[in-house]
Chain A
């Protein structure tokens, strides 16, 4: 089944404790992206990747890192999480930039 998977689905952590949210797609898509969703703000793009080893900042990259060592994986790294990073995070992929994106199920992160 074609899908985007994210892990974990739910995470409660404390300020400053490094964490990684994994994202994997099995559709051989070139474009991958991370978003955060906050009430009243819609989805905002954090980082995106056009292909392996090619990543770039979206609108809200501060406090996040990403890597794209393999085509299928695009982990999101929070080196020192803070409470303002409490949010719902989505990973998405598409065959090419500009095509419809397929979204993962979301990761609800709470930083205490």
Chain B
């Protein structure tokens, strides 16, 4: 069963607008971590933001924020004031207490339009 689901294969956003990339997860663990990574066309994986399951406040890192809704099991990434350099593939990932594995979603391709 999919542990991480990203339902948006592709998204478009106008430059300077905000965009939300969806991510839902599946776990019965009490302790887990949620991550977002960016993969530009050059191929490297860049860590963006982390949210722990016990963190009560939504994580923020500059223009990135993670909209964490625990009851809904969602961890959406919000990018504010989109820039052309934000065009990339974005992956949601989870680490669970049970086992020591990481699970990645299938990714969302974001294109920022000038």
Contact = CB atoms under 8 A, between A and B. Distances in A.
A45 interface: yes
Interface stretch (A19-27, A33-41, A67-75): A33-41
Contacts of A42: 4, 6, 91, 104-107
B62 interface: no
Contact of B100 (A40, A56, A90, A106): A56
Contacts of A98: 33, 95
Contacts of A103: 37, 44-45
Contacts of A106: 43-45
B102 A40 contact: no
Interface of B: 4, 6, 33, 35, 37, 43-45, 47, 50, 91, 93, 95, 100-107
A58 B95 CA distance: 12
A101 B103 CA distance: 12
Contacts of B102: 33, 45, 48, 101
Residue from the set A33, A35, A43, A44 with the largest chain B CB neighbour count within 10 Å:
A43
A48 B101 contact: yes
B10 to A, nearest CB: 12
Interface string A6-23: 000000000000000000
Interface residues of A, number: 26
A102 interface: yes
B47 A102 contact: yes
B96 to A, nearest CB: 9
A5 to B, nearest CB: 12
Given A42-B107, A43-B93, 8 more contacts: A31-B100, A33-B102, A40-B106, A42-B91, A42-B105, A98-B33, A100-B47, A106-B44
